[in-house]
Homo-oligomer: A and B are copies of this chain.
Amino acid sequence: MVTIKDVAKLADVSIATVSRVVNGYAHVRPEVRDAVNKAIDTLGYRRNGLASSFRTQQSNIVGVLLRQQRTPFSSALAYAIETTMFDQGYRVLLCSTNGDAEREEAYLETMLDMRVQGVIIRPSGTTSRTTKQVNLLRERGISVAFVDMKPKIPAISSVVCDNFSGGYQGMRHLIELGHRKIGVVAGGVAQKGGSQDVGSERVRGIRQAAQDLATDVEIIFSQPFETASFDVGREAGAAMITGNPSLTAIFGTTDMLAIGVMHAAHALGLDLPRDLSILGYDGVLESAVTFPTLSTIAQPIHEMGQIAAMTLIGHMREASNSPRQVVLENTLIQRASTIPLEN
């Protein structure tokens, strides 16, 4: 393996000069620079990143810890973060833990080991473990940012969507369409009672909208599910529809949930959207391909990832940057699954 020394020898300069050329520093005579570059080309020299990372104690790597289950949302978010980081010269160590404590532990060690410059965490609902992890990271001077969940410790930057407002908007949409008897299949709700999780927030928004906007609205809630999968949606949807035949709309607090409900409705022979309006939440790819296409409260997933990445980078580059809490708005995408109530 050809090292800086070989280049120095061939170009007849010192290794310091080669290093300066490689790193693009000023104060190198053009002839010398050219000679060095020629030597580099001749030998096919390539800086040993392990050595330079070691020397500078900078890895240019950031960890992305995705605790929640692998979902379309997660992967879209990861992708947004990765590309943004890439453009800023950072590389991403992706850590999908599925909430497995052991795996988290190991990943955290890797990150510490690699001296990652920063970490973006999408925490799951339960945060006791998270807090400990975050403290460990910050003790070592590693910047941390949260995405999709507000931290309990306010000293940490975060980027979240306003799930309360999103729930509110969704409910308003349904009410404005004339629906008065509305089912809500709620998922993504932390079981430990932490009320900051996205699911609970959405439900809060839904409640508030019902209270604000119409006196005659009746909401039927499913039990609050922790997981928000297609299967959960299908089962809860089936139960809800058969148990409450007079429902005219169902709001799933997740697209996958809503899609599950849609299937249940189909299976029960309902004609969608005529017999039942269905509204989702997330705006993931899948919501665009259902039949009928799913109206949904869309999250700006890409923007979330982007802003989270840029925020973290801000902290990494300037440790004194004060933390900031970014809240993004969700927006209703009206597609075919929600229609006005026929009287």
Contacts and interface: CB of A to CB of B under 8 A. Distances in A.
Interface stretch (A27-35, A50-58, A237-245, A246-254): A50-58
The interface residues of chain A, by DSSP majority, are classed as helix
Point out which of A113, A285, A288, A289 has the most chain B C-beta atoms below 10 A from its C-beta. Answer: A289
Contacts of A72: 72, 285
A113 B266 contact: no
A33 to B, nearest CB: 20
Contacts of A106: 86
| Interface range for A | 35 or more
23 contacts: A46-B112, A46-B113, A48-B54, A48-B113, A49-B110, A50-B50, A50-B53, A50-B59, A51-B54, A53-B114, A70-B75, A70-B79, A82-B94, A82-B96, A86-B103, A91-B93, A91-B114, A93-B93, A230-B288, A256-B289, A263-B293, A285-B286, A290-B291
Interface string A205-241: 0000000000000000000000000100000000000
Interface of A: 46-51, 53-54, 57, 59, 61, 70, 72, 75, 78-79, 82-83, 86, 91-94, 96, 103, 106-107, 110, 112-115, 230, 256, 259-260, 262-263, 266, 285-286, 288-291, 293
A50 B46 contact: no
How many identical subunits does the complex contain? 2
Contact of A79 (B47, B50, B96): B96
A274 to B, nearest CB: 14
B291 A266 contact: yes
A33 B260 CA distance: 56
Contact of A289 (B57, B112, B290): B290
A217 B93 CA distance: 51
Point out which of A82, A103, A112, A286 has the most chain B C-beta atoms below 10 A from its C-beta. Answer: A286
Contact of A291 (B53, B285, B291): B291
Contacts of A291: 262-263, 266, 290-291
A177 B65 CA distance: 47
